[in-house]
Amino acid sequence: MQMKWFIVEISGVCNARCPFCCTGAKTHQSSGFMEPSLFEAIIAKISKDYAYLGGIPVYIYNWGEPFLHPNYVELMHILAKYPNIYCMTSTNAGYVPELDEISAKMIRRVRLSMSGFSQESYDHIHKLPFDKVVRNIEYLVETFDKYDAKCDDFYIAFFEYPFTHPGYEDEVHKAREFTERLGLGLSVEKPGINDLRSYLDFYLGRMSEDRREFYNKYLNLDYAAYAKKAKSMRSRLKKSGSLKPPVVKAFDAANNCLTGHRVSINQRGELLPCCFVPYDDPQLVLGNFVELSADQVEKKLQRKVSICRECMEVNTVSLAISGK
Ligand SMILES: C[S@@+](CC[C@H](N)C(=O)[O-])C[C@H]1O[C@@H](n2cnc3c(N)ncnc32)[C@H](O)[C@@H]1O
Ligand code: SF4
Ligand code: SF4
C-alpha cells in the first residue's frame, strides 16, 4: 500500500468544548504540544522517505486546535524549508496567532469548523465567543490578502444540528452571506461521532442511556434501529454460507480499512493505527515514528490492533445497512 497522507498532531489541546469530540468532551487526556525540534525531525523524515510521492500533504491537526501551539509561527518557518510538503489545517478560529508573511503563506488548505452562526448555537457545541470567532476569520482573510498567500482551499465547514432556537433556520444563509462577502467556500455538513471510542461505545451498546439519547438527538442517529439490524446481521455473518452479495461487499470494504493510506502521528511523535483513535491510550501506540523505517511504518500499519476488530464489525454492519 502506498502512503498518501500524513497527519502530524501539533497540539493535544483545545479551547472549545464540542460534546461529540473526545477532546471537547474531555473523554481522553489532553496532553500538550509537539516540541518544534520533534516537528522538524518528523517533517524532515517525511520529506526524505516519501519524496517519491512528489507533493506530500501533511495535516497538522487531529484531536487538537493547531493555532493554540505557542510556537505556531516557528513551526511554519520549519515547514517552509521543505518545498515538497503541503500543509493543511482545520481550526475552530477561537484563537488565531499573529501571522507573519512566511507563516501566512505556508497553509494550502484552511477548514474553519463552525457549529452555527450565532452565540446560541455556539453555546451548544463549541462554547466559544462567536463574535471573536468571526473577527478571527476576518483577520485570517485580511492577513492572507495582505501577504498575497495562495491558499487554494479556504472554507467554512458549517455543521447542521437539529437546533430549535428562534432564527436557527436562517443561520446557514447568514453563513453563506459571510462566506460570499469574504470570498470563502462553504461546506454544509452533518456532524457525526468522530472518535473511535465513542463510536464503538455508541454502536456496541456500551454508552450510558443519557449520553446515547444526547447523541441520538443531536446527531440524528437511531441506536435502536441499528441494534436491531446489527443483531440480525451478526447471526447472518456467523453462517457465512448464507451471506448475500451486498453483505459480502460491505464485509470486504470494512476489512480493507479506509484509513490505510494515512499515517497518523500524535503530538509525542508516536505512530497510531489511524486518525480515528484517540491519542491517550499507550496500548494503541505502534512505535516512535522518527525511529522507524518507511517499511516498518507500512508493516506496523498493516498489523491490526485489537480495537480494529470491533471497528470492522461496526463498519461492516453500517456499510451493509446503508447499502454502500
Ligand atoms: C477534532 S477536529 C481538530 C481540529 C480543529 N480543532 C477543528 O475543530 O477544526 C478535526 C476535524 O473534525 C471535524 N469535526 C469536528 N466535530 C465533528 C463531528 N461531530 N462530526 C464530524 N466531524 C467533526 C472538524 O471539522 C475538524 O476538521
Ligand atoms: S472538534 Fe476541534 S474545536 Fe471541537 S473540541 Fe474537538 S478539537 Fe476542539
Ligand atoms: S480498522 Fe483499525 S485502523 Fe482502520 S479505522 Fe478502524 S481502528 Fe482505525
Residues 155 and 240 in one domain: no
Long-range contact pairs involving 251-255 (C-beta distance under 8 Å, separation at least 24):
251/316, 251/320, 253/315, 253/319, 253/324, 254/312, 254/315, 254/316, 254/319, 255/312, 255/316
Q: Is 254 in the pocket of ligand 3 (CB under 6 A)?
A: no
Residues 238 and 154 in one domain: no
CA 237 – ligand 3 centroid, Å: 20
Residues 279 and 235 in one domain: no
Angle made by CA atoms 62, 268, 207, in degrees to the nearest 5 = 50
Residue 29 neighbours by CB under 8 Å, 6+ apart: 280
The answer to whether residue 236 scores a pLDDT higher than 80 is no
Q: Is 272 in the pocket of ligand 3 (CB under 6 A)?
A: no
Residue 322 neighbours by CB under 8 Å, 6+ apart: none
List strands edge to edge, sheet with 85-91.
185-189, 153-159, 107-114, 85-91, 56-59, 5-8, 262-265, 270-272, 287-288
**Which is more confident, 228 or 316?**
228
Rounded to an integer, the average pLDDT of 86-90 is: 95
Ligand nearest, relative to CA of residue 315: 3
Contact 9, 266 (CB under 8 A): yes
Given this model, what pLDDT does residue 13 score? 93
Residue closest via CA to ligand 2's atom 1 equals: 21
- Percent of the chain at pLDDT above 70? 88
The answer to whether residue 79 scores a pLDDT higher than 90 is yes
Q: How far apart are CA 50 and CA 72, in angstroms?
A: 24
- Dihedral (Cα; 202, 203, 209, 214), 10-degree rounding: 50
Extract the C-alpha cell encoding 209.
442511556
Q: How far apart are CA 308 and CA 200, in angstroms?
A: 10
CA 172 – ligand 2 centroid, Å: 20
CA 316 – ligand 3 centroid, Å: 12
CATH code for the domain of 41: 3.20.20.70
Residues 295 and 315 in one domain: no
Residues 104 and 172 in one domain: yes
Q: What atom in ligand 1 is closest to the CA of residue 219? A: 19
Extract the C-alpha cell encoding 38.
520533534
Rounded to an integer, the average pLDDT of 188-206 is: 88
The answer to whether residue 80 scores a pLDDT higher than 80 is yes
Q: 176 is in which domain, residue-wise?
A: 5-195+258-303
Q: Give the helix ranges, DSSP H, for 54-167.
A: 72-79, 101-106, 119-124, 130-146
Residues 101 and 62 in one domain: yes
Q: Is 257 in the pocket of ligand 3 (CB under 6 A)?
A: yes
Q: Is 14 in the pocket of ligand 1 (CB under 6 A)?
A: yes
Facing residues of 184 across strands? Answer: none
Local structure of residue 97 (DSSP, 8 states)? P
pLDDT band at 232 (very low <50, low <70, confident <90, very high): confident
Residues 234 and 86 in one domain: no
Residues 171 and 209 in one domain: no
Given this model, what pLDDT does residue 315 score? 76
Domain count, the chain: 2
CA 245 – ligand 1 centroid, Å: 34
Given this model, what pLDDT does residue 255 score? 60
Contact 151, 144 (CB under 8 A): yes
The answer to whether residue 128 scores a pLDDT higher than 60 is yes
Residues 159 and 240 in one domain: no
Extract the C-alpha cell encoding 295.
517499511
Residues 77 and 210 in one domain: no
Q: Is 275 in the pocket of ligand 3 (CB under 6 A)?
A: no
Q: Is 113 in the pocket of ligand 1 (CB under 6 A)?
A: yes
Residues 116 and 176 in one domain: yes
Q: Give the helix ranges, DSSP H, for the chain.
A: 36-49, 72-79, 101-106, 119-124, 130-146, 168-182, 196-203, 209-219, 223-238, 245-255, 294-302, 306-322
pLDDT tens-digit map of 210-231: 988 888 888 888 777 777 877 7
DSSP 3-state assignment of 101? helix
Residues 149 and 210 in one domain: no
Ligand nearest, relative to CA of residue 312: 3
CA 299 – ligand 3 centroid, Å: 15
Given this model, what pLDDT does residue 240 score? 56
Q: How far apart are CA 66 and CA 62, in angstroms?
A: 9
